[in-house]
Amino acid sequence: MDSIQKAAKATREVLINQGNLEPHIYLTQKNAKKIPYKEFLDILCCPLCKGDLELSETHLTCNHCKREYEIIDGIPNMMAEQSKSIGGD
Summarised one tens digit per residue, pLDDT across range 36-65 is 667 777 888 999 999 999 888 788 999 899
Give 38-47's long-range contacts (Cβ < 8 A, gap of 24+).
44/76, 44/78, 47/78, 47/79, 47/80
Is the confidence at residue 32, as pLDDT, over 50?
no
Structural domains of the chain, ranges and CATH numbers in brackets: 24-85 (2.20.25.10)
- pTM of the predicted model as reported, rounded to 2 decimal places: 0.58
